[in-house]
Every structure is written in structure tokens, then in C-alpha cells.
Structure 1
């Protein structure tokens, strides 16, 4: 395959955010004297924050409007992104490797733009990404193909010349539904099988780099 663009998910893929997001989720529910669970949190991994908030509001019969709850959750979310959240080890080296080969890069995330920009700017990664697609830019979130279709359109690259890197099942389905070869990355051990159709399953940037070097020709 020819590689002209690589499209990254953010949470759990570029950002080592899942442990932090779990604490944000627990802190949000604690405001209502509720205790979260790993099972419920796992269900929220993939859909947009707004969809997750709507689910929590309905399940726990929260009195506030979805919009009010969303604003409060995003505030907790943003503070965490600007503070303790870091990229996975080796992320910038991998981005630099791709940039040296003139591969176009995009972030495709279910997070709102303000939250995403807080992390990318704080970590000094802005210059690597030609495009960023957030929950604010789309109508349908993952697993719908729209987020990745939007990124392809912005980069002006056909699906067959791109690669998606995702950590969640929802995200993998989104990439595959957009017709893009998709790799699942699991920086930490994960339960369950990868969805059918993935190009490869890797556990580090170094492993993904080997997959790329063995399978692709740079444009």
C-alpha cells in the first residue's frame, strides 16, 4: 500500500488518557453521590462526550439538562488534559518519523475542540498535524464513518492511501466503515478480540513502525 496520510485517534491512542478519564468520570458521578464502575466507563469509550453524558443522565436520572451536565464534564475533562495528561512514550519520535517521510497527519477525536487543543498545545504537538477533526466538526460520531471521511476530505487523500490508528472498537469500526486500512493499538493489555478486518494489532509505536516499514511504500 502507498501511505500518504495517517489518521490518529486521541484518547488511548496518542494521549495516555484512559486512567485520567476514568477518574474524571468517577469525579463527575461523585457530584451526584453516585459511584462509577469499570464496566460503565468502558461503554463510554468511543462515542462522543455528549453522547456519553446523555447516556449517564438517562441511566442515573440526573436532574440537570444534558447541556449543563456536558459543560460541567468538559470543565473537569479540560483541567485534566492541561494538567497530568501526557502522550504515550515515543509518540513524538513516531510523529517525527512520519513527518520526515512527508506523511500527512490528522487527529480524529470524539473530544470537543477546546479539550483537544488544550492537550495538543500543552504537549507541543500542534506542528505535526495538518488537520484535526473533533466532535465539534461532525454530525455523526464514531463508529459512524463521518469523522474519518471528514479527515480524508480535509487532507485530500483517498481512503486506500491512508491508515487509521485506533485503540477502541468504536474507533476501529469507524475507520473500517470509511474504507480505510485500520490498525488497532493497545498500549496496555486489553480484554477481547480485535474487530474483524483490522490490518494489524500492535502494542507500541515501535511495533506499528515495523508494520508500516514492512507493508507500505511512501508516496
Structure 2
């Protein structure tokens, strides 16, 4: 049923670990990629790079492990490894698709704010059955800074025509929760195993938390 209870509001979603149950894919990619070069993934690697822009991750990885790869070569290799997984294996988080359909039917504007490479976004959303539900898709590469800064969330809100205070951000990453909350947005933390160590901090900052989108706010704040 179509209603207007969320008119004038926006919901902004991270992809990896929030809408998509995909963070394990990147763990596998990192392990396989580094194993080919005789390197074991350090415990702090994923947490360090998860908020970065894609090229920034490539630069950091080359510098940290003293690799001979170029940034472009590294990103192309990661793209190839990830594309198959995102278009065949990765699934939505529990009840995520139902929640997006509810929001769309109740007048909310929907946006993506992601660190995912540009070439993966549409294929991943298409495989998950979500692509046609979004009004805007924004990446950290579009704003030039990672999620430790609020730029990506503010840009997503601007693209769907709502002020920051009328936007609710759904995010599994502590840095994103912190920056979106600092920008005056409503924030809901989404549990993902990859961010388990940060979960207490996320709970202390976010307006609400969930591990299943059946628990998400209806209507938005």
C-alpha cells in the first residue's frame, strides 16, 4: 500500500556489511590476493582500509607490503575477483529488500553511500534486486574523501533533495556512524561480523541498532 508517512525524508544506506552480506567476500579476496604474493593478511588490515577510497586502499596496500604492483593494476585485479562474487554469491541482509520496498512505498527518498568501486555497484545491486529502488548512488570517490568524513552522506542527502537532519543513515562501520552523527543525521548501526569489535562503540553513538531489517524504524525519524 502506498502512503506518505516518510515524505520529505531520506534513508541512506551503506552497501557492504549493511544492505549486503558481503564483507566475508572481501576477506576472501584479501586472503587470496596476498597469498599469491606470499603474504598472510594482518589482523588489522581490513579494519584499517574499510573506510578508505578504493585507490587509497591500493596505495596503502602497495606501501604497506612493499609490492611491485601499480595502483591501477591492483584495482583491476580486485575488480575481477569481486565481480563474480557480487553477481553470483552475495545476498541481501535479512529483510533488507522488504524494508527498502516499504520505504519506497511510503515516500522516502533512497540513496546509497558506499566505498564499493563504481564498477561493482550496479551489478551488486542488480543481483540483489535493489537497483531500481534507489534515487541516488554515491561513492567515496565522488566526494574525494573516505567515510571518516561526512561528505559522502551529505552529498547523498543533497542528491535526493533533503537536508541532513531529515536523513537517516544505516551503516555498519564505526567511522561512518561517527561522521554521519556528527553531521546531524539520524544514524542506525547495522551489525556485521566484520565490525564486531566496534559494536559497543556503534551502540553508544547510534540512535538505534539492528541485526535484521525487520527491526528497522517505521516510519523514519
- How many angstroms apart in 2 are the aligned matches of 1:118 and 1:179? 32
Q: Deviations over 1:80-139 (max 9, x none)?
A: 211211111211111111112111110110112211111011222111101100234221
Q: What CA RMSD, in Å, does the superposition of the two structures yield over aligned residues?
A: 1.9
Name the TM-score, length of structure 2 as normaliser. Answer: 0.88
Alignment of 1:179-190 (within 5 A): 179-188=184-193, 190=196
Specify the alignment match of 2:164 in structure 1. 159
Secondary structure of 1:24's aligned partner: helix
Contact persistence 1:6–1:162 (CA under 8 A): yes
* Residues 1:200 and 2:208 are matched in the alignment: yes
1:108 matched to 2:116? The reply is: no
Structure 1 residue 140, shift from structure 2 partner: 1.1
Name the residue aligned to 2:154. Answer: 149
With structure 1 as the length reference, what TM-score do the two structures score?
0.89
Aligned length: 212
- Structure 2: gaps spanning 5 or more residues: 1-5
Deviation at 1:187, TM superposition (A): 4.4
Q: Map 1:20-59 to 2 at 5 A.
A: 20-59=25-64
CA distance in 2, matches of 1:174, 1:79: 32
Q: Is contact 1:131–1:155 with CA below 8 Å preserved after alignment?
A: yes
Q: Give ranges in structure 1 of 5+ residues lacking alignment.
A: none
Q: Does structure 1 conserve the Cα–Cα contact (< 8 Å) formed by 2:140 and 2:147?
A: no
Q: For the residues of structure 2 that align with 1:70 and 1:92, how far apart are their CA atoms?
A: 29
Answering whether residue 74 of structure 2 is matched by residue 90 of structure 1, we say: no
